[in-house]
Structure 1
Amino acid sequence: MSTSDSGVSQTIDGYQRGLGARQIQMMAIGGAIGTGLFLGAGTAIAKAGPSLILCYAVAGIVIFFIMRALGELLMYRPVAGSFATYAREFIGPWAGFVTGWTYWAVWVTTGMAELTAAGKFVNYWWPEIPQWVTAFVALLILLGVNLISVKIFGEAEFYFAGIKILAIIGMIVIGLGVLTFGFGSPAADTASFANLWNHGGFAPNGIGQTLLAMQIVMFAYVGVELIGVTAGESKNPEKVLPKAINTIPLRIVIFYIASLVVILSVVSWVDFEEGTSPFVAAFAKIGIPAAAGIVNFVVLTSALSSCNAGGFYSTSRMLRTLATQHEAPKVFSKLSSQAVPSRALFLSGGVMGIGVIVNALAPEEAFTYITSVATVGILWVWGVIVFSHLRYRRAVAAGKVKASKFRMPGSPVTNWIVLAFLAFVFVLLTFDAATRVAIYVALGFGIILAIGWFTIGRRGETLNAQDAGRQPVEHGR
């Protein structure tokens, strides 16, 4: 680690440690709150009913163990592009190649969806503005924020996440007020905790429909792993990252379990429709003026936050990691004078810009297709994190690497339980026609990655062996 002339700490990767504790904490909270909750939960409620709460709880436990495994690896060696780096070290070079490109594809694809959503949300207020224009403006603004410096990015994400958090806490408090004291519009008179079981039971559509909702649930948690990407630019990661990870259960209980319990008590699950926001329905029933406009603003910031943190920040860091490993064009390894991977940012932004062009032609099913594809990709990434951790523990036992002070509880049993759960969710995707498309896309992408490994990746492995011990960082070119 070194210190620049401005006094900003730098890592061996050349990044600046410009993300403070409050920014990392807020990113950790905001990363677990996205359009999967604000939009996707409506479809999931219509499918699973109140049993969706159990889905979020079970998936939340799994996510916690995944993040504890990642946390142990981060404390062993905090680096940018962590997933690919650990996969490369503990599984093999091919795993680093596949994981890096998969994670890049997950967030570039999701970024397209978020930009499209942003365009639609802005059109709620100004329908006369073409949707592609607002999506394009959002793309340029977020690209500019990320190009300036990592500190500016962190500040933007801090406030984006803050808006989402305040909206959910506000809804929970107001909803509890309605349930406890009975205030609100006359339509809120039917609000009761009994709505959780009075309309066909806790799982009204059967266990099968509950399980099929798991894809939407898992997509809702995409982004929680983003704090692993921030490790290379975090101030005092040994202190900040474990704290952020250990608060995940509390965040899941508040922002997912509690919010769904309140929503499904204020509004019976039978009143929800696919494609509608449960937050809009809840606020409307309570009788808050301009509820739709308020929630529309919150969902807009949620889409921008997701595109900011995942679409730009994580993809650019992962692409640079691939470039430094000779698994992507070397030009993307360059850092700007602000110590940000500007060329990688331009590529990720350019690819996401394709979504702006395709936006007008995309069918209504596009969101489901995109989220399903993203879910398949993130299942791979999460699985690689857990399996890399297994291999890391074996290396520690053999005395090959140092032990981390931040340990995953119950390992290796919990590792195998998590891997089995992720495999189960993957199988569930095959039972629905809309999500089954993601399996076909994943197979096609897998073939592309296999070709890429044998034509590019293996060559990069040879170059890495030649460059071992000397990887200079280049700035400003």
Structure 2
Amino acid sequence: MLKKKKIQVNKDGTRRGLSNVAVQMIAFGGSIGTGLFLGAGSTIHRTGPSILLVYLIIGGFFFLMMRAIGEMMYSDPDQHTFVSFIRKYVGSRLGKFAEWSYWLELILVANAELIALSTYVKFWFPHISAGLVQLGFWAVLTGVNIAMVSSFGHSETFLSGIKIFAIIALILVGIYLVFTHHQNPAGTHASWGNLTNNFTMFPNGFHQFIMAFPMVFFAFQGMEFVGITTAETKDPKHVLPKAVNQIIFRILLFYIGSLLVIMAITPWRSLNPSQSPFVQIFTLAGLPAASQVINVVVIAAAMSTLNSSIFSTGRHLYQLALESHAKPMKPFTKVSTNGIPIVAVLFSAACMLFAPIISAFNTLSAAFTFIASVSSDIYILVCILTMVAHYKYRRSIDFQNDGFKMPGYKWSNPLTIAFFIAIFVSLFFSHESLLPAIGAIIWAIAFNLLLKRDNDNGLSVKTL
């Protein structure tokens, strides 16, 4: 009889119950979601086959950021969130800005996923209460997160597995259609030549090509969840480098592979940008229930993102509480007997219950959309600060020369920072993203001015 391996318990009571597979699935859960299954048609419509280059470039820079996060987490695997390094190496004020902004951004993402889930369920049950659906999903996934860390890992593996299965199915079906030279209803044929026929780098202009970058950038958002699992991962010194090095290539494989197949099956200009390209391709393949199947997949995708958000916000708030000396933050340091930061998880999950209220009022829905867009833009600022923290870590006494080092950091780190800044600047050149980008700047300035005022009044940032 095999002896069950004992789960390591950290000094703070949390447990290292996540395997390498679970950690990678968490990253998949965060970064492969409805943006691919529903929104890929819109990005293809902007640039055509050139979108593959956009994904490759952004994927490369996200890999560099993940290596930077991985290096810092490897040096201190007891940290519950990678954002804590910003406070440690950049400064208390900017650290607090990044920590609270990132936590808020994840809360808003979770609320958005809850709203989306009720929309997907209404595809089958149009008369069901949106609030009831949202409460149901929220209760189930919150229950999973307060059980055991391994329960979360198993659930995320299952949900991410559904998404991966759908992408593999699309790729295999697509390859079959190409090799059989499948004729579409419009009279076109599936062929690799659809990628190169009448190819132009900027079919809708250079501006549309540039504006595709922030859209694709946000599609990769969530990959950094790996940097929130380390403190509860089995053998992190072994798992972390493996997970970081493998995840980017697998995500690129799934993104690039699915986009290649989609544009090979039918000329990209014939795709409807407002409809899921997955539904369109499976319909062309003769699957009458394509929309039904993809609806199941997007429900799994939204559940996966919500599941990861509950986990991440709980750990994030727990880390904030550990670093704070304020009395109101003390309850959030409580860890349950099964190793879960229970109060931090439950409070963060409770903040996601704004979704039913938002769904009930159209004016609130419009306001929420704007606030969520502002928060997403702030995410870019957090990425920039993360890279600055890594650069300063490399020049600190904490640097481990034999650690899991970011390759060529002297050029790769500044280059990544410059790229992220360029992504943020590009937001100001589109009327759709201009106001949220301004909102992100206002939030950053106001938050830091508030902290400065408190410091001038004799309050330490560390107590907040």
Work out whether 1:361 is the aligned partner of 2:361.
yes
* Cα separation, 1, equivalents of 2:353 and 2:225: 22
Which residue of structure 2 lines up, in the alignment, with residue 46 of structure 1?
Answer: 45
Work out whether 1:323 is the aligned partner of 2:314.
no
> C-alpha displacement at 1:361, in angstroms?
3.0
Gap change, CA 1:334 and 1:454, over 3 Å in 2? farther
Which residue type is aligned with residue 217 of structure 2?
M
Which residue type is aligned with residue 45 of structure 2?
A
* Cα separation, 2, equivalents of 1:436 and 1:132: 32
Q: Does the 8 Å contact 1:8/1:16 carry over to 2?
A: yes
Which residue of structure 1 lines up, in the alignment, with residue 109 of structure 2?
Answer: 110
Q: Does the 8 Å contact 1:196/1:202 carry over to 2?
A: no
More moved, 255-264 vs 241-250:
241-250
* Cα separation, 2, equivalents of 1:446 and 1:266: 45
Which residue type is aligned with residue 394 of structure 1?
R
Percent identical pairs in the alignment equals 35
Q: Which runs of 5+ in 1 are unaligned?
A: 1-5, 465-477
Please state whether the residue corresponding to 1:113 is helix, strand or coil: helix
Computed over aligned residues only, the root mean square deviation of the Cα atoms, in angstroms, reads 2.4
Gap change, CA 1:462 and 1:323, over 3 Å in 2? closer
Gap change, CA 1:412 and 1:291, over 3 Å in 2? same
Query: Within 5 Å, which residues of 2 pair with 1:37-436?
Result: 37-183=36-182, 189-198=188-197, 201-310=200-309, 312-326=310-324, 329-362=329-362, 369=370, 372-395=373-396, 399=397, 401-436=399-434
Q: Does the 8 Å contact 1:369/1:435 carry over to 2?
A: no
Please state whether the residue corresponding to 1:205 is helix, strand or coil: coil
Gap change, CA 1:188 and 1:393, over 3 Å in 2? farther
Which residue type is aligned with residue 385 of structure 1?
T
> C-alpha displacement at 1:93, in angstroms?
1.6
Please state whether the residue corresponding to 2:223 is helix, strand or coil: coil
> C-alpha displacement at 1:170, in angstroms?
0.9
More moved, 301-310 vs 7-16:
7-16
1:41-68 CA-to-partner distances (Å, cap 9, x unmatched) read: 2222222222211111100000010011
Gap change, CA 1:317 and 1:115, over 3 Å in 2? same
* Cα separation, 2, equivalents of 1:288 and 1:365: 36
Please state whether the residue corresponding to 2:404 is helix, strand or coil: coil
Please state whether the residue corresponding to 2:344 is helix, strand or coil: helix
Work out whether 1:453 is the aligned partner of 2:451.
yes
Gap change, CA 1:221 and 1:403, over 3 Å in 2? same
Please state whether the residue corresponding to 1:301 is helix, strand or coil: helix
Gap change, CA 1:365 and 1:275, over 3 Å in 2? farther
* Cα separation, 2, equivalents of 1:63 and 1:115: 27
1:210-229 CA-to-partner distances (Å, cap 9, x unmatched) read: 11011210111011000110
> C-alpha displacement at 1:140, in angstroms?
1.5
Which residue type is aligned with residue 447 of structure 2?
L
* Cα separation, 2, equivalents of 1:343 and 1:456: 27
1:416-475 CA-to-partner distances (Å, cap 9, x unmatched) read: 1100110011011111222123223313432452255347788455559xxxxxxxxxxx
Which residue type is aligned with residue 28 of structure 1?
A
Q: Does the 8 Å contact 2:163/2:297 carry over to 1?
A: yes
Runs (4+) of structure 1 moved beyond 6 Å? 363-368, 455-458
* Cα separation, 1, equivalents of 2:372 and 2:47: 18
> C-alpha displacement at 1:249, in angstroms?
3.7
Q: Does the 8 Å contact 1:199/1:270 carry over to 2?
A: no
Gap change, CA 1:198 and 1:41, over 3 Å in 2? same
Which residue type is aligned with residue 406 of structure 1?
F
Q: Does the 8 Å contact 2:81/2:315 carry over to 1?
A: no
> C-alpha displacement at 1:119, in angstroms?
0.6
1:273-293 CA-to-partner distances (Å, cap 9, x unmatched) read: 343212111111222120011
1:331-377 CA-to-partner distances (Å, cap 9, x unmatched) read: 22222222212222222222221122112434787797466334312
Work out whether 1:440 is the aligned partner of 2:441.
no
TM-score normalised by structure 1 residue count: 0.89
Aligned length in residues: 455
> C-alpha displacement at 1:123, in angstroms?
1.0
Which residue type is aligned with residue 408 of structure 2?
G
Q: Does the 8 Å contact 2:105/2:372 carry over to 1?
A: no
Q: Does the 8 Å contact 2:162/2:297 carry over to 1?
A: yes
> C-alpha displacement at 1:267, in angstroms?
2.8
Which residue type is aligned with residue 376 of structure 2?
T
* Cα separation, 2, equivalents of 1:213 and 1:70: 25
TM-score normalised by structure 2 residue count: 0.91
* Cα separation, 1, equivalents of 2:411 and 2:252: 24
> C-alpha displacement at 1:117, in angstroms?
0.8
> C-alpha displacement at 1:104, in angstroms?
0.5
